[in-house]
Structure 1
Amino acid sequence: MNLRMASFVPVMMLFLIAILSLNASGQDSTSQIVRLIHADSLVGYSSGGNSFRELNGHVLFSQGQTTLSCDRALQNLTTNQVDLFGNVVVHDDTLTLKAKQARYFAKTKTVYCDYGVYLNDTKRTLTADKGDYNSTDKVAHFAGNVFVQDSLSQLFANQLVYYREEGKTFADGDVRIISKENHVTVYGGHFENYEKKKYSMMKLAPVLVQIDTASDGKIDTLMIKSRLMEAFRDTVEERFVATDSVEVIRSELMARCGLGTYFANDSLIVLVSSPVVWYEDNQLTGDSISVYLHNKMVSRVHVVGFAFALSQSDSLYQDRFNQLKGKELTMYLNKKKVERIVVDNNAVSLYYLYDKNKPNGVNKVSGDKVVMYFRDGKIDKISVTGGVEGDYYPEKLIKGEVESYNLDGFRLYTDKPVGADFRKIFR
């Protein structure tokens, strides 16, 4: 009895394994079958060792949750692929893909559209010259005149890869992103968007451009260039962060730094990492520089930490610069003209004097606070308060020794950004 049972168990195990193997094989085979749901007419034939079905009129197929419809289809039963013609529509869950013509491979569950394609995925629509979509991996590839649009933005590119489940998009070649909300356009060569993280980035010569109409009715443009441009949407306030070799141009304002952040809704630009700002004839430097815009125009520039401002005192004497320094400095503007510069905490000023256009020495004054007032781009008067100290150096002392009178921290930068360099990139 024991011997008979011992021999019976292995036989039963082998039988069960065989049955399970057959079921698994049947399931794989079934999952690869493209089922014909409807056609107005069907003609079957064989050619070149392959079996075909030619279908016409309201053709409808399904494979799993994917459905395919068209006006006419040619199904190769041997290779398990279908050529679809006329009003092609593919549905996969919430995704809809449309084309004039397509080819569907059942084994990989991939549809290829080489003659124009349209995609709708509830939140966004896409058009391109050609594309493919894999319903197993939920990945789509598009090429040629790619255009994507949702409620907040538009994207143009030469190529794009869309990962549905991960919620990420990669775009390459003449990429352009337009924000409908704040009228910001970002250009570049490579773009990545991570929807779930509310984060995107642009590489390969990115440039941010925002065109506004100022309160005086004139068109004004903000341009920011860097090696990396990132957008963060994880808070109520969307912010753009430019990193490495940052250049900024806004009307008469130009700037360079290592890291810049633009808060579009607040009209604020924050520059750090060796920032330099030029406005008209004025140069500003410090640890951190914040540029505030009001009514689409620069209203003030705030410098914190080793703040230094300089401007040429007279065009005929190019080595003489009026200078201001302190821990904190603010330049105020009115109608695009510098109105005054205020320096707080350990304020020091150096300004050159002229008598009937002839040099007449230099004044050096320090105090708790220095205010330099301007008229028509030139110094009109200076106000110094709190612990005032001052020295006057006559012309005979400084002639030929001008550089030795510069304040500590003086450095003249001449590498201003050029607007033409920006426009070459996004034309």
Structure 2
Amino acid sequence: MNKTLLMKFFLFFLLLPVLLIAQTNDNTIRVVGDSLVGRNINGKIIREVYNHVVITQGDVVITCDKAIQYISDNNVELIGNVIIKQDSITIETSRGFYFGDDKKTSTDEPLKLYDGEMTLSANMGKYSFDNHNAFFKNNVRLTDSSTTLTSDSLSYFKDSKRMIAMGNVKIVDSTNTIYSDSLNYFKTNKNTIADLNVKLISKTDNTIVFGGHLENYPSRNYTIVSNNPLLMQIDTTVQKANGNKFGQTKIDTLLISGKYLEAYRDSLDMYKVRDSVKILRGDFASVNYKTLYYRKDKTLIITLNKKTNEQPVMWYENTQITGDSINIKIKDNKIDLMFVNKNVFVISQNEDYKNRFDQTSGDSLNSYFEDGKLIKTNIYGDVLSIYYQYDNGKKNGLSKSSSKLTTIYFDNNMAQEIRLYGTPNTEFYPERLVEGKEDDFALPKYVPFKKRPIKSDLLKKTNFKKNN
């Protein structure tokens, strides 16, 4: 056999499938194109196919400008305008590899994956056509009809329509923006589970929620946050200044922390915070077991722990109030009404004499405010009170009283007049009988003055500083 004939015979078998191997099993990669060049490099047969390249393996169809097929490895390098399709999945990139034995593709170039209304893009990624899952990395962005998600990396599971995003995660929909270190997103029902450094921003009520773990269920209009959750609502108030209609803008921030925070965005439009709850807003603060915050009605309901009967504690300026439940109505971002029910105890500390506390106990309490300032308080039912007296700032004994109703009128948040109704009785004790014996005059239901929460207490266990 002459040399020329031998060469032709060799090329015939090299290019026999003209356009690739004629086997019938589904593992075969078939490549066609306008031209083909065969090579034998170190004993491995390589085919280069140019222009209008079409590659098929089972239900996977690939088009590109150039393909380099490694016959023995059953792999193909894809170059130029790469488009890969399988069922509803379409992947586009400029360059990549297709691995026939594993039925996978990967690329270190920017790529996009389309699946119905969803588009997923990144700087690099891979996809398994058997398992129907993808892993995308660097500058990941996912969009669908109502949601945009960005992250450092993302795993996509087509069959379960689930995504797991990791690193600098941000997901935005029509009502919320959520940040976290990791996030599970379920495409069908839009449910979201986020972990570590979680931050949720509500676009409807200027509210931000921080925490370590978040679960959001849009179809139920329900969200729960745990691991040191903190609710922050920032409001602006315009204070009128001597007839100036513009006045001065004041920023009021409501902070509520606890172990669990639940948001109901249905007709209730309510936040529920429970277990070790702390509240802070301006001169108002509270420590309690459970708080309900109705956003539309601007109402706070604070209740006791029914298991331990531990009462909620509330502070307003230098006054501490306890009772079985406390209801607060807010108007124009300021306290407007306050109702305290059952086993009420009010204690106020003197700013100059720290061991002297005015005290009042009763069955219930109603307080009325005007432009955020306390103007009147009614205390009902077997009311007992002690008030320390002062003369030009100097100690001057105390008065002890009892009644069925006590009404206190305030000016600039300071008590100016006290009225007793229903078999009132008052006793006065001069200073010489009071000095050093203040504890002897404490009322029977005396509740010690406790340390009120401060802003740093609420922020130190959250990721507030990191995210702001």
Tell me the TM-score normalised to structure 1 length.
0.85
Offset of residue 386 of structure 1: 3.0
Q: In 1, are the aligned partners of 2:79 and 2:96 still within 8 Å (CA)? A: yes
SS of equivalent residue, structure 2 residue 138: coil
Q: Give the corresponding residue for 1:218.
A: 250
- Does residue 228 of the first structure (1) align with residue 264 of the second (2)? no
Tell me if structure 2 keeps the 8 A contact 1:33–1:80: no
1:188 pairs with 2:188: no
Letter in 1 for 2:261: M
For each residue in 1:268-312, what CA deviation from the matched residue of structure 2 results, as whole angstroms up to 9, or x when unmatched? 221112211111111111001122221112223221111121112
> Are the counterparts in 2 of residues 227 and 243 from structure 1 also a CA contact under 8 Å?
yes
Secondary structure of 1:193's counterpart equals strand
Shift of residue 232 of structure 1? 1.7
Distance 1:275 1:255 in 2: 7
The corresponding residue for 2:61 is 36
Q: Which amino acid aligns with 2:176?
A: S
Residue 219 of structure 1: CA displacement?
1.0
Q: CA deviation at 1:163?
A: 2.4
- The aligned residue for residue 114 of structure 1 is 137
CA distance in 2, matches of 1:378, 1:40: 82
User: Partner of 1:149 in structure 2?
Assistant: 172
Q: Is residue 429 of structure 2 the alignment partner of residue 389 of structure 1?
A: no
Write the distance in 2 (CA, Å) between the matches of 1:170 and 1:288: 33
For the pair 1:293 / 2:316, whether they are aligned, the reply is no
Deviation at 1:175, TM superposition (A): 1.0
Distance 1:247 1:183 in 2: 20
Identify the range of structure 1 (258-267 vs 84-93) with the bigger mean alpha-carbon deviation: 84-93
Does the aligned pair in 2 maintain the 1:45–1:52 contact within 8 Å?
A: yes
Distance change in 2, residues 1:321/1:413 (3 Å): closer
The CA deviation at 1:73 is 3.6
Counterpart-to-counterpart distance in 1, 2:359 and 2:385:
6
Q: Which amino acid aligns with 2:269?
A: E
Q: What amino acid is the match of 2:335?
A: V
5 Å matches for 1:182-331?
Answer: 182-216=205-239, 217-233=249-265, 235-273=266-304, 274-312=311-349, 314-331=350-367
Question: Secondary structure of 1:159's partner?
Answer: strand
**Larger Rg belongs to:** 2
* Post-superposition offset of 1:34: 4.7
The alpha-carbon deviation at position 241 of structure 1 amounts to 1.3
**Cα pair 2:347 2:449 within 8 Å, conserved:** no
| Distance in 2 separating the partners of 1:76 and 1:361 | 92
- Answer whether contact 1:102 1:114 (CA < 8 A) is retained: yes
Tell me if structure 2 keeps the 8 A contact 1:110–1:133.
Answer: yes
Structure-1 separation of matches of 2:197 and 2:428: 59
CA distance in 2, matches of 1:210, 1:301: 20
Structure 1 equivalent of residue 45 of structure 2: none
Partner of 2:50: none
**2:84 alignment counterpart:** 61
Q: Is the 8 A contact 2:345 2:447 kept in 1?
A: no
| Structure 2 residue runs without a partner (length 5+) | 1-24, 27-56, 240-248, 305-310
The 1-side partners of 2:101 and 2:390 are apart by: 96
Per-residue deviation, residues 147-166 of structure 1 (Å, max 9, x unmatched): 11011111111111112345
What's the C-alpha RMSD, in Å, of the aligned pairs? Answer: 2.4
Per the alignment, residue 104 of structure 2 pairs with 81
How many equivalent pairs are there? 394
Contact kept, 8 Å, 2:66 with 2:80, in 1: the verdict is: no
TM-score (normalised: structure 2)? 0.78
Q: State whether residues 44 and 51 of structure 1, in contact with CA within 8 Å, keep that contact through their aligned partners in structure 2.
A: no
Aligned residue for 1:137, secondary structure, equals: coil
How far 1:86 sits from its partner (Å)? 5.2
Contact 1:34 1:61 in 2 (8 A): no
User: Are residues 358 and 117 of structure 1, via their aligned partners in 2, closer, same or farther at CA, if it must alter by over 3 Å?
Assistant: closer
- Deviation, 1:254, is 1.2
Q: AA paired with 2:275?
A: D
Where does the alignment leave 5 or more consecutive residues of structure 1 unmatched?
Answer: 1-24, 27-31
Instruction: Report what 1:45 is aligned to.
Output: 69
What is the match of residue 373 of structure 1? 409
SS of structure 1 residue aligned to 2:169: strand
> Using the alignment, how far apart are the partners of 1:403 and 1:213 within structure 2?
43
In 2, are the aligned partners of 1:348 and 1:365 still within 8 Å (CA)?
yes
